[in-house]
Structure 1
């Protein structure tokens, strides 16, 4: 049974995230067509798992929120905030991970030019057993938070370690970007920034679409457009879920200046 913010997802409204097949991985035009059709690219093994696991080890060691196996630990919240927002988020290890050649190089190849990485990069550590509204990322699409730049920002969601569905990874609403694009053009969607809802089952019915899920592995990356509706599942395992979401765009396109400071949970975005 999968839940998000305590809402039970209907098995009739669930599907599997489609991996990009190996034959398409080097075909830029095929990938662009797939992204336009599906709103996401599920790239298995884009990153070296050893690099992912090394950053995961660093994060847990530095913050103390879990042991090396991901088993949660009790930490002082004030000290955690100091370390997370004062050392880890603005630190060189995180910057190097997000700008590693396998990731930046892929974006440069796919976008066909010099890229720009937004400074506001988010790390989420989600403990098990949390449920109820407000405990998992609610359904939204990224453009509502990035309106002051190009709408061609491409987000990368990266599980920092193996992430089966029980750990509460991201889920994507199938084909949702097509409707969002239409409604954005018509000016009928929410302004200013706001999540759509915590009620994923009702949203699936409204869109007549499935929520797509996957068992992610260290090294996997999901690229999604700024119009693709996504949310997080609840963590019903016994381990900490660790992930990061970052955003690249062509350097020549307009940049949302509000996203050029390091992420903080009180930055108002």
Structure 2
């Protein structure tokens, strides 16, 4: 049984995320067609798992939220915030991980030009048993938060370690970007954040669609458009879920200035 914010996802509204097949990995035009069609690119093994696991260990050692095996530990909330927002988020290790050649070079190849990494980079740890509205990332599409720049921002969701569905990884609403694009163009959205909700089952019914899930592995990356609706599942395992989501775009396109400061949970975005 899969849940998100305590809501049970119906088996009839679930599907599997489609991996980019190996024959398309080096075909930029095929990938662009796939991204336009699906709203995401599920790239298995884009990153070196050794580097992913090294950063995972660094994060757990610095914050103390889990041991080397991902087993949750008790930490002082004040000290955690000091380390997370004062050391880890603005630190050289996090920057190097997010700008590593395997990632930046892929973006530059795919975009066809110099890639710009937004400074506001988000890293999340989710402990087992955290459920109820407000715990897992609610359904949304990224343009809601990035309206002062180009809408051609491409987000990368990166599981920092193996992440089976029980650990609470990201889930995507199949084909949702097509409806979002139509509504954005027509100006028919009730308000800028109208699509945000914790009720994933209800949203799947409204869109007549399925939530797509996957068992992710260290090294996997999912690239998605700014119009693709996504959310997170609840962590029903016994380990800490760790992930990061970052955003790249062409450096020559309009950049949202609000995203050029380091992420903080009180930054209002």
Name the TM tier (shorter chain).
Answer: over 0.9
* Aligned-partner Cα distance in 2 for 1:12–1:108: 38
1:191 Cα shift? 3.8
* Aligned-partner Cα distance in 2 for 1:247–1:205: 29
- 3-state secondary structure, aligned to 2:34: helix
Matched, 1:172 2:189: no
Tell me which residue corresponds to 1:133: 133
1:2-45 CA distances to partner (integer Å, 9 max, x unpaired)?
00000000000000000000000000000000000000000000
Tell me which residue corresponds to 1:61: 61
Matched, 1:144 2:150: no
* Aligned-partner Cα distance in 1 for 2:195–2:189: 11
- 3-state secondary structure, aligned to 1:124: strand
* Aligned-partner Cα distance in 2 for 1:91–1:49: 21
Tell me which residue corresponds to 2:10: 10
1:59-102 CA distances to partner (integer Å, 9 max, x unpaired)?
00000000000000000000000000000000000000000000
Structure 1 outlier segments of 4+, above 3 Å: 190-195
* Aligned-partner Cα distance in 2 for 1:114–1:189: 33
Tell me which residue corresponds to 1:72: 72
Report the TM-score when normalising by structure 2: 0.99
1:150 Cα shift? 0.1
Tell me which residue corresponds to 1:210: 210
* Aligned-partner Cα distance in 2 for 1:201–1:228: 17
* Aligned-partner Cα distance in 1 for 2:16–2:257: 36
Tell me which residue corresponds to 2:90: 90
Q: How many residues align?
A: 269
Query: For the Cα contact (< 8 Å) 1:52–1:161, is it kept in 2?
Result: yes
1:188 Cα shift? 1.8
* Aligned-partner Cα distance in 2 for 1:98–1:21: 24
- 3-state secondary structure, aligned to 2:177: helix
- 3-state secondary structure, aligned to 1:203: helix
- 3-state secondary structure, aligned to 1:158: strand
1:90-115 CA distances to partner (integer Å, 9 max, x unpaired)?
00000000000000000000000001
* Aligned-partner Cα distance in 2 for 1:55–1:30: 32
1:128 Cα shift? 0.4
Query: For the Cα contact (< 8 Å) 1:40–1:223, is it kept in 2?
Result: yes
Tell me which residue corresponds to 2:253: 253
* Aligned-partner Cα distance in 1 for 2:49–2:195: 32
1:196 Cα shift? 1.5
Q: Map of 1:112-127 to 2, 5 A cutoff? A: 112-127=112-127
Tell me which residue corresponds to 1:99: 99
- 3-state secondary structure, aligned to 1:125: strand
Query: For the Cα contact (< 8 Å) 1:138–1:195, is it kept in 2?
Result: no
1:193 Cα shift? 4.5
Report the TM-score when normalising by structure 1: 0.99
Structure 1 residues 194 and 146, CA, compared in 2 at 3 Å: closer, same or farther?
Answer: farther
Tell me which residue corresponds to 2:26: 26
1:189 Cα shift? 2.0
Q: Map of 1:184-203 to 2, 5 A cutoff? A: 184-193=184-193, 196-203=196-203
Query: For the Cα contact (< 8 Å) 1:144–1:194, is it kept in 2?
Result: no
Q: Which runs of 5+ in 1 are unaligned?
A: none
Query: For the Cα contact (< 8 Å) 1:155–1:225, is it kept in 2?
Result: yes
Query: For the Cα contact (< 8 Å) 1:144–1:191, is it kept in 2?
Result: no
